[in-house]
Amino acid sequence: AAKRLVTVDFAATVHPSLPWTFEPQQRRVLVGLGETALAFYRAKNTCDRPIIGVSVYHMLPPEAGLYFNKIQCFCFDEQLINPNEEVDLPIFFFIDPLMGEDQRFDHIDRISLSYVFFESDSDIPEEYNHYIRATRTDQAPLPLSAPDTQQQASEPAGQPVNQAPVAPP
């Protein structure tokens, strides 16, 4: 017998208060029951401060969630994205072969997976505060004695902004 194939459609939305773009890198994948598949979403923080986002998902038909198994997913963790940084977010999954034995799915060959990103209320970790300090323009400059300004001054010019910051010693 031929292996049953299911089309998984991907969609993405960003809550209006979150200054990010977020979209699937592929609109759909065709996957056999029991086979693993890897898909990516891309998110970009379009503002001048680091933001932590949290995602929730919705699946149609809802019963498909019984058989849709995420091995690795960006949705398992909050995502901290630095100012103007763009990141690829993976989802590695498989559809349980038992779906083929469920009569509710006899005529269903398509599953839709949609994610919505919201801004998290988690605090930005201390090691990312230099992004906030470096981009604020509505306040007086920080005094030179402020913590970690000496380290920032000694960093080489032209260092890419999207590199992970180094924690102070």
The answer to whether the bond into 61 is cis (omega within 30° of 0) is: yes
Q: Check residue 123 and give its pLDDT.
A: 72
Q: Check residue 101 and give its pLDDT.
A: 94
CA distances from 136 to 49, 61, 119, 150 (A): 8, 45, 19, 18
| C-alpha dihedral, 78 to 84 to 86 to 89, nearest 10° | 10
Interacting residues of 159 by C-beta distance below 8 A, sequence separation 6+: none
Q: List per-residue pLDDT tens for the chain, 169 residues long.
A: 568 999 999 999 999 999 999 999 999 999 999 999 999 999 999 999 999 999 999 999 999 999 999 999 999 999 999 999 999 999 999 999 999 999 999 999 999 999 999 998 877 666 666 555 444 445 454 444 444 444 444 444 444 444 444 445 4
Q: Check residue 121 and give its pLDDT.
A: 83
> 3-state class of 23 per DSSP?
strand
> 3-state class of 86 per DSSP?
strand
Q: Please give the domain boundaries of the chain with CATH numbers for all domains.
A: 5-119 (2.60.370.10)
Question: Distance between terminal CA atoms of the chain?
Answer: 62
